Structure 1
Amino acid sequence: MSKTTIHRIVRLGIALFAGASVVVTALPAGAQEPRERKTILEFFFGKRKPREVAPEPQIRKPRTVTRKKKATTTVAKTPEPAAVEKLADAKVVLVVGDFIAGSVGEGLVAAFETTPGIRVERRTNGSSGIVRDDYYNWPESLPGLIAETKPALVVVSMGANDRQQMSIGGVKEKFRSEAWTKEYEARVARIATLAREGGKPLLWMGMPAFQSSALTADMTTLNNIYRAGVEKAGGEFVDIWDGFVDEEGKFVTSGSDINGQQVRLRGSDGINFTKAGKRKLAFYVEKEIRRLLGDAAADGPGLQGDLKDLVVATPPVEDAEITKTQPISLADPALDGGTALLGGAALKGSGKSLREKLVEKGEIADAPLGRVDDFRLDKTATP
């Protein structure tokens, strides 16, 4: 090959190379396809196919459903009786004692809420009693309370806090010892006498049963002391024991209220009372108050002022002639003159009733004219 030919080939190659470079550089950067270099492993074993990743499942959000609210049925409650304004001369019922007296006092306020002639005054101390006169001395306080409230009737209830030793002349006497019992009886009699001063009626409400069997047993003993001391002073002992025990005499948490409905009467501690229990406590005392105070305990507005004089009770006339009638036997037959007016002409008969004629002779009375069993030939004839 000649040198001229070789030169031509070289120049042609240089021209082609220059043209190719111009074309490459003329292309935009984004149009160039970069080559990926193969690794040695890819060169020998080939390129691994990319691992297909399963698409994540789309979780459908729960559809929010707006439900219509059901119309709530409200049970109509029995409206409580409206409080009645008390009369200016309303008789005062004074309630004194411990926390049991506080419960009965609350129940009495509800009991006489609609009674204008009765006003309930409560002067109680929940932790007081007859034993601890150093904490609260009822014999010293009671005359002042009576002078302050001027009650027509006094209600006393205390003793639930008295299961403890008593200080007598500087000596601590154990509960229910001989000396303790003797002093306790004397203190009960003193309180009862002070409450009865001036001849006022006294109602001493006894202790109820409690959840503790030991406490319940002690309350029965104390109730006997209260009954004896109060009745000796001329007062009345109100026994409430049966209202808070079952048929076997055991403590009950729930029982009948004053309307006979089964309700909860005592608190979870087995000592205090619920609202229904307080009302039941007062029920026993309320009956005696209404009996002792008479017309003042009548519900409603009542008669006031000079209107009371318009009510005149006329005694029966002693010489009034009373007409007496002879008793009538239930066995009298209706057809033996029983349908005749008094003073009218008596019907004469054979002296035997229709039943006797049927039994003895087999005779029966003719059916009334026109009835289906009337078999007489002459239909115009009267029986």
Structure 2
Amino acid sequence: MTLAKLAVLRRALPALACAGLALLVVPEPARAQWGDSYDQPQDYGYRRRSRDAYYRDDGYRQPQPRRYAPPQEAPRQFYWPWEDRPQQAAPQPQPTYRRPPRPKPPVGTADGARENHRPAVKRRVQPPPATEPQKPAIAKTEPSVRIAVFGDSLADSLSRGLDDVFEDNADVAVIDRAKPDSGLVRRDVVDWASAAADYLKISKISYAVVLLGVNDRQPIREGDQSYEALSDRWRETYRTRVEALAKVFQDQKIPLIWVGTPPVRSESLTKDLAAINDIVRDAVQKAGGIFVDAWPGFVDDRNRFVMTGPDLEGQAAKLRTADGVHFTRAGARKLAHFADVELKRMMGSAAPATSEATPTAVAPIQAPGLDGSASKLDDIAAIDRQITAMLPSLPEPPGIPALPVKPAAGQVVPLGRAEISPGGTLASGRQPDGDASGNVERTLQRGSAPLPQPGRADDFRWPPG
């Protein structure tokens, strides 16, 4: 480099230094207030995936392959003798937390004295549940009264109820002759007139109880003829069959009690059963039997069917089963009550009238023997009589004063007759006393107020002076 070039460079060096300093001092151009930080791309440390990784060429998303856990090997069942069989680790017991015992205070302190004198807690011992003692079954080997119950499935419940009534009476036996699904309409099931006559030939009964009708709301067939239920011809035929069954017991001189069919849940069937009961009542009473109406015991005050109601003890109980036709045990006992009243009346089981107790003679005290020793009393009743005789007699209670006997009816006097005095003149009232003070005339005739009494509340006169 020549000296001339060095001289030129030396002269231009200050100018270059000033230009560089000016570039450093000049500020940057002003940025916009919003959104300038998003204009420049920034690197956040991740890369955007290519479009082909999610979408196919046709615009649908490409499903990603599912990842499954690696399959676990099943435990081996066979090991070679030179292989070590894996040992299962015994389960470690789980640590349990126990509350640390409470430290007892010394006996000499106040807390210790209070702890020692703490009253013991008395635990109430609950008594065992009371169980009703079972009544011993009374063997009825030779009962003098035999009651046979004939009828359908409701008569079966009636028989069970009567059996509960007379279970304590060894002289009364209840015989169940009921046949379910039977009636007076279908003779192909049971012909009750013939069945009752055949049974009376081999058995002797004292009373007969019949309950039929719940299965009889269906046409009656006689040969080729069929009569619709409750038609005129049907009623005549049904009445004839009731009279035929009642005549079987009448010929054998067996008292008959026919229990009417009670209401059921179905309203239409209940109306038809009421009509059947009317037919049976008329036919049985004409045949000399007794018809018992059990209808009021199983309806409410509006004559509607009820599932529950009061039992014989007055407690609310379920009387009918879920089908609304048959009876529970409480209902069967209530149904039997209607026939039980008539049976006891016929058997004369009514309680006898209480008569006045007759005084029992007291045995005299036995005199001591010759050796001075009294005779031995082995009889307990004799000892009681002797003690009663030794007690002092109580004084007789004073007599009750006799009351005057009132006549059953007084003198008959017509209410419309005017009262006449003995002289023949009309009776007049009492003569009024003289009005000496004039209060009557002043009050009633003149309308003036009566004079007040001195010192009374209505005395408004000024005191004298």
Which whole-Å CA distance do the structure 2 matches of 1:179 and 1:71 have between them?
A: 73
Alignment of 1:77-116 (within 5 A): 77-86=131-140, 88-116=142-170
Deviations 1:75-127 (A, max 9, x none): 42433533222262421001001001111001111110001111111111011
Which whole-Å CA distance do the structure 1 matches of 2:319 and 2:165 have between them?
A: 17
Deviations 1:46-101 (A, max 9, x none): xxxxxxxxxxxxxx89989xxxxx98876424335332222624210010010011
The letter for the 2-side match of 1:251 is F
Q: Do structure 1's residue 143 and structure 2's residue 197 form an aligned pair?
A: yes
Which whole-Å CA distance do the structure 1 matches of 2:131 and 2:330 have between them?
A: 16
Counterpart in the other structure of 1:177: 231
Larger helix fraction of residues: 1
Q: Secondary structure at the match of 2:196?
A: helix
Alignment of 1:279-318 (within 5 A): 279-295=333-349
Q: Secondary structure at the match of 2:281?
A: helix
| CA distance 1:79–1:149, change in 2 (3 Å) | farther
What TM-score do the two structures reach when normalised by structure 2?
0.48
Which whole-Å CA distance do the structure 2 matches of 1:272 and 1:73 have between them?
A: 39
Deviations 1:189-245 (A, max 9, x none): 111111222221100000001000011111111111111111111110011101100
What TM-score do the two structures reach when normalised by structure 1?
0.58
Alignment of 1:1-383 (within 5 A): 75-86=129-140, 88-295=142-349, 326-327=402-403
Counterpart in the other structure of 2:105: none
Tell me if structure 1 keeps the 8 A contact 2:143–2:173: no
Deviations 1:125-156 (A, max 9, x none): 01100000011111111111122331110000
Tell me if structure 2 keeps the 8 A contact 1:130–1:158: yes
Counterpart in the other structure of 1:356: none
| CA distance 1:248–1:200, change in 2 (3 Å) | same
Counterpart in the other structure of 1:333: none
| CA distance 1:117–1:157, change in 2 (3 Å) | same
Which whole-Å CA distance do the structure 2 matches of 1:175 and 1:143 have between them?
A: 27
Tell me if structure 1 keeps the 8 A contact 2:146–2:206: yes
The letter for the 2-side match of 1:198 is Q
| CA distance 1:164–1:71, change in 2 (3 Å) | farther
Tell me if structure 2 keeps the 8 A contact 1:196–1:233: yes
Tell me if structure 1 keeps the 8 A contact 2:220–2:228: yes
Identity of aligned residues (%): 35
Q: Secondary structure at the match of 2:348?
A: helix
Which whole-Å CA distance do the structure 2 matches of 1:273 and 1:97 have between them?
A: 15
Aligned residues: 243
Which whole-Å CA distance do the structure 2 matches of 1:256 and 1:327 have between them?
A: 47
| CA distance 1:63–1:296, change in 2 (3 Å) | farther
Which whole-Å CA distance do the structure 2 matches of 1:86 and 1:114 have between them?
A: 10
Q: Secondary structure at the match of 1:277?
A: helix
Query: Which blocks of at least 5 consecutive residues in structure 2 are unaligned?
Result: 1-93, 99-123, 353-399, 406-465
Tell me if structure 2 keeps the 8 A contact 1:118–1:297: no
| CA distance 1:285–1:258, change in 2 (3 Å) | same
Which whole-Å CA distance do the structure 1 matches of 2:97 and 2:323 have between them?
A: 51
Which whole-Å CA distance do the structure 2 matches of 1:255 and 1:177 have between them?
A: 34
Which whole-Å CA distance do the structure 1 matches of 2:185 and 2:246 have between them?
A: 15
Query: Which blocks of at least 5 consecutive residues in structure 1 are unaligned?
Result: 1-59, 65-69, 299-323, 330-383
Which whole-Å CA distance do the structure 2 matches of 1:155 and 1:61 have between them?
A: 77
Tell me if structure 2 keeps the 8 A contact 1:94–1:149: no
For CA contacts below 8 A with separation 6 or more, give which structure has more relative contact order: 1
